[in-house]
């Protein structure tokens, strides 16, 4: 894999495993699913898979780091959290993935008339999107393992003190608009909405990483906390 070359990637939605528990979590549902919710999700899973087009683009970049000052390509990032995540890394993968625009159309078509379905579709699609991100990371992990290198957990703009403004740079670095049709609104929202961008550190040693996801976040009263 060469530095500074953007690689395209795609995956069949049918091959991605979707975790029921995660779907429920995104729907704000705690505990085991009640029958109606189960039926609701079950009736829409296939529809979401058929309308999803998992595609992504990523680029291998050199990392320059001094304490919490991180330099990747044109990005000058000041972030304690990201610095911690990237400890011991010399390179990073910058990526952008999406499940496509049809999903947004699907959600919109149900939003006014059947909000329960819109909620379910949104939750299933989010879970699918994360599953795709996991899958791509898995492929990259295998690729770099062959070279004796280890990947860190992915870290996205908006996590901790890694500012959301860097979405612009990431979308530009990965040529995301051209490769997988991902754009940014003025308010820094990714379009299509079921899209994820981020940075994955690559290092020579496997490290014990700081806690991830919900466990690392301060908002203990969040409805969606794992």
Partner 1 sequence: MNIMNSLGKKLLFFDGGMGTLLQKRGLKAGELPETWNITHKDVITDIHLEYLNSGANILKTNTFGATLLKFPKEGEISLEEVIAAAVENAKEAIAKCDNDDEHYIALDIGPCGKLLKPLGDLAFEDAVELFAQTVKIGARCGVDIVLIETMNDLYETKAAVLAAKENCNLPVFVTNAYDTTQKLMTGASPEAVCACLEGLRVDAIGLNCSFGPRQMLPVVERLCAVSSLPIIVNPNAGLPVFENGETKYDIEKDEFADLMKQIAKCGAHVLGGCCGTTPEYIKATVQKLKGFDVKPIEDKNLCVISSYTHAVEFGKKPVIIGERINPTGKKAFKEALRAHDIDYILNVGIKQEEAGADVLDVNVGLPEIDEPQMMADAVCALQAVTDLPLQIDTSDEAAMEKALRLYNGKAMVNSVNGKIESMEKVFPLVQKYGGLVVALTLDENGIPQTANERVKIAERIYAKAAEYGIAKKDIIVDPLAMTISTDSHSASCTLDALGAIADRGGLTSLGVSNISFGLPAREFINSTFFTMALSRGLSAAIINPHSTEMMKAYKSYLAVAGYDENCSEYIAFAQTVTTSEQIKGADNLNVPGDDTLKNAIIKGLKDRAFSKAKELAASTPPLDIINNEIVPALDIVGRGFEEKTVFLPQLLISAEAAKAAFDAVKEKIAISGGEKVKKCPVVIATVKGDIHDIGKNIVKALLDNYGFEVIDLGKDVSPEVVLEAAKKSNAPIVGLSALMTTTVPAMAETVRLIKKELPHTKVVVGGAVLTKEYADSMGADKYAKDAMETVRYAESV
Residue 7 found at the interface with partner 1 (CB under 8 A): yes
- Which pair of tokens denotes residue 53? 């087009």
**Residue 49 Cβ vs partner 1, minimum distance, rounded to whole Å:** 14
Q: Which whole-number Å values give the CA distances from 4 to 7, 39, 73, 145, 147, in the listed order? A: 9, 46, 9, 20, 19
Rounded distance between C-alpha atoms, residue 107 and residue 164, angstroms: 25
Residue 3 is given by DSSP the state B
| 81 makes contact with partner 1 (CB under 8 A) | no
Which position among 80, 109, 214, 226 is part of the footprint of partner 1 (CB under 8 A)? 109
* Residue 94: other Cβ atoms inside 10 A: 24
The residue to which tokens 């299509």 are assigned: 192
Considering only the stretches 14-22, 107-115, 127-135, 203-211, report the one whose residues sit in contact with partner 1 under the rule CB under 8 A: 107-115
| Nearest distance, CB of residue 183 and partner 1, angstroms | 5
Nearest to 104 by CA among 69, 86, 129: 129
Binding flag, residue 47, partner 1 (CB under 8 A): no
Binding site for partner 1 (CB under 8 A): 1-2, 4-10, 27-30, 34, 36-37, 40, 53, 55, 58, 73-74, 100-102, 104-105, 107-109, 111-116, 118-120, 122, 139-140, 142-143, 164, 169, 172-173, 177-179, 181, 183, 185-189, 191-193, 223
């Amino acid at each position: 894999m060469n530095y500074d070359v953007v690689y395209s990637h795609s995956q069949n939605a049918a091959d991605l495993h979707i975790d029921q528990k995660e779907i429920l979590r995104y729907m704000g549902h705690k505990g085991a699913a009640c029958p109606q919710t189960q039926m609701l999700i079950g009736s829409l899973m296939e529809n979401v898979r058929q309308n999803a087009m998992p595609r992504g683009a990523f680029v291998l970049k050199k990392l320059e780091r001094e304490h919490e000052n991180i330099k990747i390509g044109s990005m000058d990032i000041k972030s304690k959290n990201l610095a911690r995540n990237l400890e011991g890394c010399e390179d990073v993968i910058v990526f952008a993935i999406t499940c496509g625009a049809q999903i947004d159309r699907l959600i919109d078509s149900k939003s006014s008339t059947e909000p329960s379905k819109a909620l379910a579709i949104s939750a299933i699609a989010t879970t699918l999107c994360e599953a795709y991100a996991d899958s791509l990371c898995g492929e990259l992990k295998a690729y770099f393992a062959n070279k004796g290198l280890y990947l860190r957990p992915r870290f996205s703009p908006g996590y901790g003190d890694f500012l959301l403004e860097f979405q612009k740079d990431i979308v530009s670095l990965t040529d995301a608009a051209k490769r997988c049709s991902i754009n940014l609104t003025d308010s820094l929202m990714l379009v299509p909405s079921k899209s994820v961008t981020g940075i994955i550190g690559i290092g020579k040693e496997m490290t014990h990483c700081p806690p991830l996801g919900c466990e690392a976040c301060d908002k203990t009263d969040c409805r969606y906390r794992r």
